[in-house]
């Protein structure tokens, strides 16, 4: 996988999981990428237990990333505690001092517009930190 671009590796991850997980990952990815043309896709944190790594989206720093588990997919926002969750879609990692997550199970709808708002808010947090 290391000769492929991050976007190609994310394509491979989506194909590997397939089924409802692949569909949810595709919908999350589409919402994130539609938020801003400046978003970069990366793969980070490859390890023996997860050799494919994790899909990561960045813009002047990490915005969010996904973790795929046995019965759920989590979309984690690195600076989620600083974001305005006006749609109240954060439902995991609520006690973390930094992270916030959206945990999705089979049959759950992906709220693309709400994810886009969070991504735009995360971009703003990263830009404010950079200036």
Picking from 128, 33, 24, 125, the residue whose alpha carbon sits closest to that of residue 80 is 125
Q: What is the pLDDT of residues 58-95, one digit of tens each?
A: 999 999 999 999 999 999 999 999 999 999 999 999 99
Q: Return the residue matching tokens 């970069």.
A: 40
Q: pLDDT value at position 1?
A: 46
**What's the CA gap between 93 and 101, in Å, rounded?**
6
CATH topology assigned to domain 6-130:
3.90.1150
What is the value of pTM for the model shown?
Answer: 0.94
Please compute the mean of the pLDDT values over residues 102-128 and round it to a whole number.
97
Angle, helices 6-17 vs 19-35, to 10°: value is 150
Tell me the domain boundaries of the chain: 6-130
């Amino acid at each position: 996988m290391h000769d492929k671009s991050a976007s190609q590796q994310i394509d491979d991850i989506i194909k590997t999981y397939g089924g409802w997980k692949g569909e949810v990952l595709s919908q999350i990815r589409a919402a994130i990428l539609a938020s801003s043309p400046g978003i970069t896709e990366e793969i980070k944190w490859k390890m023996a237990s997860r050799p494919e790594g994790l899909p990561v989206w960045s813009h002047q720093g990490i915005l969010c990333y996904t973790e795929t588990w046995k019965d759920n997919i989590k979309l984690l926002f690195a600076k989620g505690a600083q974001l305005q969750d006006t749609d109240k879609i954060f439902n995991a990692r609520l006690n973390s001092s930094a992270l916030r997550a959206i945990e999705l199970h089979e049959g759950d709808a992906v709220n693309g517009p709400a994810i886009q708002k969070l991504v735009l808010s995360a971009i703003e947090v990263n830009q404010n930190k950079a200036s």
